[in-house]
Structure 1
Amino acid sequence: MSTATANGVANDIASDVRNSNNKSMGAMLIKSLPDALRKFDPRNMWHNPVMFIVWVGAAFLTLLGIGQLFAPAELSQGQPVYFTWIIAIVLWFTVLFANLAEAVAEGRGKAQADALRKTRTTTPAHRVVCYDEENDPDVRGPEKGEGPSSIVEVPSSDLKLGDVVVVEAGDLIPGDGDIISGIASVDESAITGESAPVIRESGGDRSAVTGGTRVLSDRIVVRITQKPGESFVDKMIALVEGANRQKTPNEIALDVLLSSLTIIFLIVVLCINPQASAVGASVSLTVLIALLVCLIPTTIGALLSAIGIAGMDRLVQRNVLATSGRAIEAAGDVTTLLLDKTGTITYGNRQASNFHALPGVDHDEIVRAAALSSLADSTPEGQSIVDLARKEGMELKDIPGAIAVPFTAETRMSGLDLPTGERIRKGATSAIEHWVAEEGSGVGQEILDAMHDRVESVSNAGGTPLVVAEQDASGVVKILGVVQLKDVVKEGLRERFADMRAMGIRTVMVTGDNPLTAAAIAKEAGVDDFIAEAKPEDKLAYIKKEQAKGQLVAMTGDGTNDAPALAQSDVGVAMNSGTSAAKEAGNMVDLDSDPTKLIDIVQIGKQLLITRGALTTFSIANDIAKYFAIIPAMFMEQFPGLGVLNLMGLHSSLSAVLSAIIFNAIIIVLLIPLALKGVKYRAESSEKILGRNLSIYGLGGIVAPFVGIWIIDLFVRLIPGF
C-alpha cells in the first residue's frame, strides 16, 4: 500500500462518516433493508424478548390466516377473513421496522470497517532471527552478510507475539508493537485520519506503533505485542461493525424490566377471553394478539439496541474507540474527572508574560539580560522571552564571539558568556542561588529575600519563575530579577467545567507543579480540586479513594506508568500515541491523542443515557395511552356502556384494533432518527433532565397515541367490513 493509498483510506473513513450523516433517512432505510430481512431468523430474534413476542404473534396469525382460507366459518369468528391477514402483515412490518432500526445503526459503522480493512493487508515483514539487543546496530540481512542477528522476510500474517522486526523508511509496519530501538517519523493517517506525521521512539511513552502505518524516515526495531487477528485494526473493525457489542448492565436491567412488563400484559390478555365469556361475550385470537402487541413496550424494545450502537458510532465519529458499550455507559455515569494539566487544561507551551526587576535594578537592565541569555535558547520558553523583550522595545542582535550556555537537567539553567567577560544566567531559583553562592560574590540577604518574594508572587499567580543573574567582567555577581512564565489556560474550559459541575461531575486537575502554582492554575481554569506534585501512585490512590466513596472516575493517560490508574478507573481513555500498556489498560483509545476529548466522551455517555431514558419514558407512556384509547372501543359493542369512554369516537372495535396496531408500527420508524442522533444534550442536573423527559416524552407519549390512532381510524373505517 502506497503512502497515497494510506492517506486515501483515512479520507475514505472521514468521507463515509460524512456521507452517512448527510444521507436521507429514507435512503439509509432502503440500503439497510437486506440486513433487516436477515435478522428475521428466530435465532436472532429471541435475543430481544419483546420483539420475539411480536414475531411469534405474526407467525401465528399468518398460520391462522392460511387456515381461514380453508375454513373461514370456523376460524374467522365473525370477522372479515382479510382482517387476520392485515393484522399479520402489520405485525411483520413492526418486526421489520425494529430490525431496520438496528440495521441502520450497524450500517453506519460498516463503511468505516470497510475502509479500515484496506489497511489490513498482508505485507512483508523483516523478522530478526536471534535478536541481539547489544549489537542491534549490526542487524543485517543475508544480502549484507551474516551478523550477530540476521533478518528473514516473512508475511506479516506469520508474525507471533514477541517477534522482533526491522522497519525502514518507506516500509509498512507489519503489526502492533513497541519500538525497542531507534526513532522514526511515522505516517498514521490510515488509522487517525491526520495527515501530519508523528515521531515514535524507543524508551518513552511514544514507543507504541500500529500495524498498517508507514515509516517515513529512519529505521526502527519493533517488538510485536499482539497475536495475529488481535491487532488494533482488527479490534476496531469488530467493534465498529458491532460484532463484539455486548449488552451493558443498564441494557440488561432494562431488558429484564421490559420482559417483566411483557409477561404481565401477556397474562392480562390471556385472562380477557375467560372473563368476557363469563358475561356472554368473546374476543377473537386475532384481536387478543393485536391487543398484546399494542400493550407491550414494543417502541423501546425495537429501538434499545439501536440506541446503544448509535452511541458507539458517535464515539467512532470523534475518533474514539471504545472496547465495549459498557465503557460508554460508564462515561455517562461518571462523577469525577481526572485531567492532566499540561496539554489538557493548559496549552503546555509556557510563555513569558512579565519581567520583575529587583529593588535597585533598572527594568531595561533585566529585560536586556533575560533576552541576551535566551538568544541561543531554541525552546518555546526561551523564544517567548526574546519576543516579549522586543515587544517592550528592546533591540537585539547576535553578538560575535558570544558563547551560548545550553540548558541541562543537571544545571537547570542556561545563559550567555559575552566576549567582554560578562556572564548571564537564567534558570530555576535554587540553581541560580547555587551559582551565585559558588561565585562567592556575597549577595546580601536583603536581595535574596526580595528575590524570594518575587518568586513566591509569580508562583501564587500560577506562573513559573525564572531568576536572572549576571556576573560582570570584574567577577561581581548581581541578581537582576525574575521572568514570569505563564502556562496559558485553554479558552472556554472554565465554561465547560461549569457545565460539568451543573451535571454533578467533579473535575480534578493533576499536575507535577508545586502546590502554589497548581492552586493558581486550578482557580483560573475553574476546576474543583487539584493534585500537585503528582506521581503515578498518587493518581491510583486518588481513584481508589473516590471509588470507595461510591464515585465513578474517568481519566486519561498515555504512559506505561499511567496503566495502573487507567485500569483502576471506571473510564480509562488511553492516547493512541501512548504505549501499548496504556492502551491495553484503558477501555477507550483516543485516535487523535487529544486529552480534552475526555469531556466530549462524558457528554456522549450522558447523551446515550438521556436518549435511552427519554425513549423508555415515551414507550411506557404510549402503552398506557393505547390501553385507554382502544379498550373502550374494543368492547363497546358487547358493553354499550363503554361507548361513553370512547373519547376519540373510533368507528368500531375492528377499526380501533387495526388503527392501534398500525400506529404501533409507524411510531417505531418515526423514532429511528431520534434513536440514532440522540436526544439533544444539555448540561443540567439529573432532576432537571428527569423533569424535561417527563414533560416532553412522558406527556408526548400519552398524547401521540390518541392523535395518531384517531387519524389512522379515519382511513381504516373506509375499508369494507370495518
Structure 2
Amino acid sequence: MSTPHLTSTQASSESETSTRAPGSSASKRRTATLSTAQLLAAFPGAVRKLDPRQMWRNPVMFIVEVGAALTTVLGIAEPFLGGPETSGGTDVPPTFTLGIAFWLWLTVIFANLAESVAEGRGKAQADSLRKTRSDTETHRLTAYDPSGDPAAENAAVEALSSADLRLGDVVVVVAGELIPGDGDIVWGIASVDESAITGESAPVVRESGGERSAVTGGTRVLSDRIVVQITSKPGETFVDRMIALVEGATRQKTPNEMALNILLASLSIVFLVVTLTINPIADYSAAAVSVPVLVALLVCLIPTTIGALLSAIGIAGMDRLVQRNVLAMSGRAVEAAGDVTTLLLDKTGTITYGNRRATEFTPLSSGVSQADLVRAAALASLSDPTPEGKSIVDLAGENGFVHTGTLAGDVVPFTAQTRMSGVDLTDITTDGAPLIRKGAGSAVTAWVEETTSVPDPVRAALATQVERISTLGGTPLVVAAGSAGGPRTILGVIYLKDIVKEGIAERFAELRAMGIRTIMVTGDNPLTAKTIAAEAGVDDFLAEATPEEKLTLIRKEQEGGNLVAMTGDGTNDAPALAQADVGVAMNTGTSAAKEAGNMVDLDSDPTKLIDIVRIGKQLLITRGALTTFSIANDIAKYFAIIPAMFAGVFPGLAALNVMQLHSPASAILSAIIFNAIIIVVLIPLALRGVNYRPVSASQILGRNLLIYGLGGVIAPFMGIKIVDLVVSLIPGF
C-alpha cells in the first residue's frame, strides 16, 4: 500500500514555519504604548462600565463611585442650603464639593478606562477572526467508510451550509475552499493557508494519520483534496473561543486575583469604618469634618490604584501571550505559568533542532553486507514522512540504493508505545524477509526475540555501536528484518546526528536562576539522553519515555509540591497535557491535544514554553509591584489630607504639612486629583508589564520594594505638591 508522505521541500517549509519568530505579522505586534487614539476609542466603554451592576464586582472602585455620587448630590444641593460647610474648623471655597465630585468621577472613569484599553487591544484581532467565520457552502459525505476511499470523485456528498454542520460530520474540502469547521483530517494531505489564525503567510502541511492532522475552521486549502471529520459544535469552534478570549468576554478571575480582591475589599471596609468614626470623635473638639472631606479621606485611604488596574493587568497578561501567537484558555493558566517550578521539555524540536540526519550505516555482523542494511533501512523509510526518514532515504541513495515504482506492502507507523516503525512487504524477492523494522535498540531487539534469540556476538556489537553513537550525542536507530513466524535478524545501526540549539544552555541557566527545574523528555536511550542533557544544561532527563511515564513523572512532581508545565501535540500527549498545571498544545497537533491543554501555540514552536513562563512571571511581578506602589503612595496622601482636615482646630498638626501645601482645601483637592491622574500614568505599565529579569524571588522582592515601595512614597509627595501649585492659582483655594 502506498502512503502519502512529505516531500523534502514540504518538510523544509514546515520546519521553517515552526521556527519562525512568533507573531511576525505587523498587525500582530501591537505595542504597549498608550496613544491618544487608544484612549479615545476606549472612552465610550469606560463610561458604559459606570453601570453599578458592573462596578460592584470591583469593591474598591464601587466605593469610589458611591462617594462620587454622594458628593455630586451634596455639591448640587449646597447652593440651596447656604453654601458648603466648614471642615475641621476651616472654610472651603464654594466650588470645593463639586471639584471633589468631578475628580472622583474621573477616578472611576480612569479605572474603567484601564480595563477598556486592555480589552480594546484584542478587538482588532477579534474583528479579523470574525472574517474567517463566513457562512460557506461545504460538501458533507452522506456515508463515511473509514476503510474505503472517502475522497473518491464518485463519493456520495450533499451540499449544505457550514453553519448546519454537526459534531462528527465528515466533509470533503478541495483546493481553494475554506475548511468549514474545526476537525481532524481522516484522509489525504494538503497545503493549508492558516494566516487568518496565525498571521503567518507561509502555508503549512496537514495530513491524516499523524500528529499534524488537526485543521481549523476558516483556514483555506491551497492544494490537493482532504476529508475532514468535524470535532466541534457550532459556536464552540477554536475561532469562537479565540474571539471571546481576546476580547476578555469570558475572562474569569484567577484564584490569586480573587484573593487580592478580597484583601482590597477588606481593607476598604476597615477604612470605611475608620472614616465613619471620625466625626463622632471629632465632635468632642468641635472639629466636625464635612461629608465631602470624609469621602476624600476614604478614597485616599483605600488602595484605589491597584483596585483600578488589577483587571487590566490580568487582561494585558493574556494579551501579551496573544501577541506571541499563544492562546490561553483562561487567566488561571497564565497565572499558573508564573508559578511553575518544573518544566518538561521534549528533546526533539525544543532542545535540539529536531531535523536529525542519518550520517552512517553500520552492519553488525559479517553475514550482513552494507548493501543489505542500506536496502532494508531505505525500504523501511520510504513512507516515513519525518525529516529523519527522508534523510535515511537520501543517505541510502548516496550509497547506491535505487527504488522505482510503488512500495508494495503495509506501512507500520511509529508509535510512542512500540518505539519503532517499518514495513510489511507483500512483494519480496530476496532473502524471504518481508518484515522490516527500525527503531530504538531495546524495542527492535524485543521484536527480534519474539521468534529468534540474538547471538551474543551481535548483541555485543550492538551494545558497542549504541554506546559509541550515544556518547557522541547522536541517536542510534537499529534495523532488523525477518518474517512473521520465522527467523529475524538484527542487520545494523543507523547513526542519526542531533544538534543542540545555540543559546539553549544559557536559557536553561536563566530558568535555574528563576528557581525553575528543567527535565528533558526523550525517546532516546539513557546514554544519548545523558549526553544531550549535559550539553544542553538541563537539570534532569527522562529517557525512553512513553506517554504513561510522562504522566507518572508529572504526578510525582506535583505530589512534591511543584507546578508543572509541558508541551505536546499528539493524542498520546493528551493525558499528560490535561494533568500538567500548564499544558501547551501545538496548533499543528491533534484536536485531542488542543482540548486537553489550557494553552495553544498557534506557531507550534515548543521552545515558546520558556517565553510563556516568563510572561506568567511578569504578570505576577507586575501585580505585586503595582500593589506595593498603591499601598505606599497612600502614605503621602495621609500627610496631605490629615493635617488639612484639622488644621483649624489643632494648629500643631501643621508640623505634618511637610509638603507645605497652600491651604487645607487645596491639599485635599490636590490629593484627590493626584489619586486620579496616577491611574492614567500607570496604565501603560499595567499593559506592558514590569521589566522582568531572571533572578531569584528574594532579589525580585528587594527590587520591587526599592523601586515601587520607595518610589510609591516619593512620587506622590512630588506629584501632590505640583498639583497643589496649580490648584492654588484657582480663586478661593
What's the TM-score bracket when you normalise by the shorter of the two chains? 0.7 to 0.9
Tell me the distance in 1 between the aligned counterparts of 2:278 and 2:442: 87
What is the aligned counterpart of 1:487 among 498, 521, 534?
498
What is the aligned counterpart of 2:163 among 157, 168, 174?
157
Cα distance per residue 1:150-180 (max 9 Å; x no partner): 3211111111122222212221111111222
Q: Which amino acid aligns with 2:197?
A: I
Q: 1:208 to 1:455 in 2, by over 3 A?
A: closer
Return 163-172 or 235-244, whichever deviates more. 163-172
Tell me the distance in 2 between the aligned counterparts of 1:248 and 1:400: 60
Are 1:701 and 2:707 matched, yes or no?
no
Tell me the distance in 2 between the aligned counterparts of 1:399 and 1:331: 50
Tell me the distance in 1 between the aligned counterparts of 2:196 and 2:64: 44
Are 1:534 and 2:545 matched, yes or no?
yes
Which residue number corresponds to residue 201 of structure 2? Answer: 195
Tell me the secondary structure at the aligned position of residue 533 of structure 1: coil
Which residue number corresponds to residue 82 of structure 1? Answer: 95
What is the aligned counterpart of 1:43 among 41, 47, 53?
53
Tell me the distance in 1 between the aligned counterparts of 2:23 and 2:355: 34
Tell me the distance in 2 between the aligned counterparts of 1:570 and 1:562: 14
**Partners of 2:150 and 2:227 within 8 A in 1:** no
What is the aligned counterpart of 2:113 among 66, 83, 100?
100
Are 1:318 and 2:292 matched, yes or no?
no
Cα distance per residue 1:116-145 (max 9 Å; x no partner): 0111100002122243444444766xxx6x
Tell me the distance in 2 between the aligned counterparts of 1:74 and 1:358: 101
Q: 1:22 to 1:400 in 2, by over 3 A?
A: closer
Are 1:67 and 2:77 matched, yes or no?
yes
Q: Which amino acid aligns with 1:123?
A: T
Tell me the distance in 2 between the aligned counterparts of 1:138 and 1:522: 45
Q: 1:135 to 1:571 in 2, by over 3 A?
A: same
Are 1:303 and 2:309 matched, yes or no?
yes
TM-score where L is the length of structure 1:
0.84
Which residue number corresponds to residue 277 of structure 2? Answer: 271
Q: Which amino acid aligns with 1:591?
A: L
> Structure 2 matches for 1:70-469, cutoff 5 A?
70-73=80-83, 78-137=91-150, 150-351=156-357, 452-465=463-476
Tell me the distance in 2 between the aligned counterparts of 1:430 and 1:113: 50
Which residue number corresponds to residue 631 of structure 1? Answer: 642
Tell me the distance in 1 between the aligned counterparts of 2:375 and 2:311: 65
> Structure 2 matches for 1:471-550, cutoff 5 A?
484-550=495-561
Q: Note the C-alpha offset of 1:351.
A: 3.7
Tell me the distance in 1 between the aligned counterparts of 2:67 and 2:456: 93
**Partners of 1:370 and 1:483 within 8 A in 2:** no
Tell me the distance in 2 between the aligned counterparts of 1:624 and 1:485: 65
Q: Which amino acid aligns with 2:179?
A: I
Tell me the distance in 1 between the aligned counterparts of 2:718 and 2:725: 11
Tell me the distance in 1 between the aligned counterparts of 2:709 and 2:322: 31
Identity %: 68
Q: Which amino acid aligns with 1:275?
A: I
Q: Which amino acid aligns with 2:67?
A: G
Are 1:32 and 2:42 matched, yes or no?
yes
**Partners of 2:569 and 2:589 within 8 A in 1:** yes
Tell me the distance in 2 between the aligned counterparts of 1:389 and 1:696: 63
TM-score where L is the length of structure 2:
0.83
Q: Note the C-alpha offset of 1:452.
A: 4.2
Q: 1:539 to 1:122 in 2, by over 3 A?
A: same
Q: Which amino acid aligns with 1:50?
A: V
Q: Which amino acid aligns with 2:56?
A: W
Q: Note the C-alpha offset of 1:411.
A: 9.6
Tell me the secondary structure at the aligned position of residue 119 of structure 1: helix
Which residue number corresponds to residue 681 of structure 1? Answer: 692
Tell me the distance in 2 between the aligned counterparts of 1:359 and 1:227: 58
Q: Note the C-alpha offset of 1:49.
A: 0.7
Tell me the distance in 1 between the aligned counterparts of 2:333 and 2:625: 21
Tell me the distance in 2 between the aligned counterparts of 1:401 and 1:69: 99
**Partners of 1:650 and 1:713 within 8 A in 2:** yes
Q: Which amino acid aligns with 2:595?
A: E
Q: Note the C-alpha offset of 1:225.
A: 1.3
Are 1:583 and 2:594 matched, yes or no?
yes
Q: Which amino acid aligns with 2:722?
A: I
The CA RMSD over aligned residues, in Å, is 3.9
Q: 1:466 to 1:323 in 2, by over 3 A?
A: closer
Q: Note the C-alpha offset of 1:466.
A: 6.3
Which residue number corresponds to residue 473 of structure 1? Answer: none
Tell me the distance in 2 between the aligned counterparts of 1:212 and 1:352: 38
| Unmatched segments (≥5 aa) in structure 2 | 1-21, 413-419, 424-435, 481-489
**Partners of 1:634 and 1:652 within 8 A in 2:** no
Which residue number corresponds to residue 416 of structure 2? Answer: none
Which residue number corresponds to residue 419 of structure 1? Answer: none
Q: 1:264 to 1:402 in 2, by over 3 A?
A: closer
Q: Note the C-alpha offset of 1:690.
A: 0.7
**Partners of 1:13 and 1:111 within 8 A in 2:** no
Tell me the secondary structure at the aligned position of residue 191 of structure 2: strand
Tell me the secondary structure at the aligned position of residue 185 of structure 2: strand
**Partners of 2:150 and 2:187 within 8 A in 1:** no
**Partners of 2:188 and 2:208 within 8 A in 1:** yes
Q: 1:66 to 1:515 in 2, by over 3 A?
A: same
Higher RCO structure, 1 or 2 (CA under 8 Å, sep 6+): 2
Tell me the distance in 1 between the aligned counterparts of 2:443 and 2:585: 36
**Partners of 1:265 and 1:295 within 8 A in 2:** yes
Tell me the distance in 2 between the aligned counterparts of 1:404 and 1:430: 31
